[in-house]
Chains A and B, each alone.
Chain A
Amino acid sequence: MTYFLQNFVNALQWGSFYALIALGYSMVYGVLLLFNFAHGDIFMVGSYIGFFVATGLVGLSAVGVITLPYWLILVLTILISMILTAFVGMLVERVGYRPLRDAPRASAAITGLMIGVILETLNLIMLGAERYKFPELLQTEIYELGGVSVTNKKIMIVFVSLLLMYLLNLFVMKTKWGMAMRAMAYDFAVVPLMGIPLNTIAALTFGLGSALAAAASILFGTAYPVMDPYMGVTIGWKAFVAAILGGRGSIVGAAVAGFILGFIEIFSASVFPSTYRDLIAYSIILFILVFRPHGLFGQEHTSKLRL
């Protein structure tokens, strides 16, 4: 039982990362019917932006320009990185995807992959191959709860992730921008007839998804501080799998499937040798998709692109 609970806690943490990233894939797909294959690299960019913001704030505190407690630096780092990374996402949409709005979907997919390569390479050119380490903003504290050890970091990661998902849900369900996003996911072509600028909503969606990826990257950095230009590739693809498992375009699906993926991975590693983890985890997902090709929460309805 303790063993199970221990894994449960770890699964929640990994599920949080996957869910936050998967949301970006799913929202963009819902609104624009394309997968932003640069999304994993946006996660990487968010991490580096977070690194510089955090290092800057820590430095300013050290020389006494401002005196901020570390928890506040962490909060500020998350917020500032989310905002800056949102702009990176909007830039990617503007430069990479908007000119291809009417092009075949394959063109957009290839563009996404190439943007990812560009972001990785730019990072190498600007920062070199040296690995950076995300600053330690939260001293690890370990709590023993009935034999299960829980760190304050894990609690924080899960809590912040759930909070962000709750806020995203509020935004999508209660604001007129969120309403426009839902409308666009249902019938793309009619949205301009409502007086709504498509490009604004598309940019907003990219911005939101990128901000969530940035938040995920900061949270990730508190637990796994080593950074490199390719850090977004594997986690990005895994989150993409979660988005597919949840159902293309489904926000709830992406969040739920992110956690499911976390659980499947952690528990298959706890039962079988950990080198088999991905093999077993993705076989299970393939199996689920055979029976639910639209994903767990996906709908057969697809948005209409023409009037």
Chain B
Amino acid sequence: MLLSVKNLEVSYGNIKALHGINFDIEEGEIVCIIGANGAGKSTTLRAISRVVPVGPDSSMTFMGQNLLDYQADKVVSKLGISHVPEGRRLFGNLTVKENLQLATFARKDREKIPSDLELVFSIFPRLEERITQMAGTLSGGEQQMLAVGRALMSGRKLMILDEPSMGLAPLLMLDMFEALKKINAEGTTILLVEQNARLALRFAQRGYVLETGEVVLSGPSDELANNPEVQKAYLGG
């Protein structure tokens, strides 16, 4: 087990966003969490990245370590969990190169940085062409590439992605998911949350369905894709 989440509760003020959800991720998997707007998908990822506080009975274990012992920056630098946030959130005032460099700020395994950079450029050759350009001037597709590339540079164990398809043209969405498959093949486990359930279930091996802060269904992707309820609610009948 790479990541095990038990009874995860998150509240924003008096509003409970997650009502004690459970899920597991095995090493090497691609897992997706699907659900509507406001179901708690992003909150789940923020809890893993330790940027929102979790309830007292929640537990999260990553590679045998208690995730709750780590602060947000240490989750990345010590455990190797990288997070591609919703809306990319690149540093638009920095160049492509600087965005990639910055992600390695606290990495201890500095000897591996050059090969990781090569991996990023082999998956996204466009980034190498744009290396000196300001991140804020990239096209939407290129920005998403940089967001994923930057995450790859920050940690390689587990990559969590918040709506990687958002704002991309259909063809670019496919390219992005193909790239994620390549990253997965190079040894990075992937957890992604998506509103585009059809696409997510096509690429992930397993999925969880989140509804108003609770996991209502889970299973292999093809099972979920054939489930009448899922089809009705998320796949447009």
Contact = CB atoms under 8 A, between A and B. Distances in A.
A179 B49 CA distance: 22
B92 to A, nearest CB: 6
At the interface, is chain B mostly helix, strand, loop or mixed? loop
Contacts of B71: 192, 197
A103 to B, nearest CB: 15
Interface string B67-104: 00001111011000011011001011110001001111
B181 to A, nearest CB: 23
Contacts of B101: 176, 179
Given A304-B89, A307-B51, A196 B105 contact: yes
Contacts of A182: 91, 93-94
Contacts, number: 76
B76 A195 contact: yes
B83 A193 contact: yes
Contacts of B46: 307
Contact of A190 (B89, B98, B106, B107): B89
Interface string A176-190: 100110110111011
Contacts of B91: 182-183, 186-187, 190
A198 interface: yes
B93 A195 contact: no
A290 interface: no
A18 to B, nearest CB: 25
A182 B106 CA distance: 16
A194 interface: yes
A179 B94 contact: yes
How many chain B residues sit at the interface, stated as a range, is: 20 to 34
Given A176-B101, A193-B49, A185 B76 contact: no
B155 interface: yes
B154 interface: yes
The CB with the most chain B CB atoms within 10 A, among A182, A187, A195, A301, is that of A195
B41 interface: no
Contact of B94 (A183, A195, A196, A198): A183
B156 interface: no
B102 A180 contact: yes
Contacts of A183: 91, 93-94, 102
A187 B92 CA distance: 9
At the interface, is chain A mostly helix, strand, loop or mixed? helix
A129 B124 CA distance: 66
B76 A193 contact: yes
B85 A195 contact: no
Interface in A118-143: none
Contacts of A195: 73-74, 76-77, 103-107, 154-155
B94 A194 contact: no
Contacts of B157: none
Contacts of B106: 195-197
A194 B105 contact: yes
Contacts of B150: 194
Contacts of A301: 92
A84 B107 CA distance: 30
B102 A192 contact: no
The 7 closest A-B pairs by CB, nearest first: A195-B77, A195-B76, A192-B72, A195-B106, A183-B91, A192-B73, A190-B89
Given A183-B91, A197-B73, 11 more contacts: A179-B94, A180-B105, A182-B94, A190-B85, A195-B73, A195-B104, A195-B105, A195-B106, A196-B102, A196-B105, A197-B106
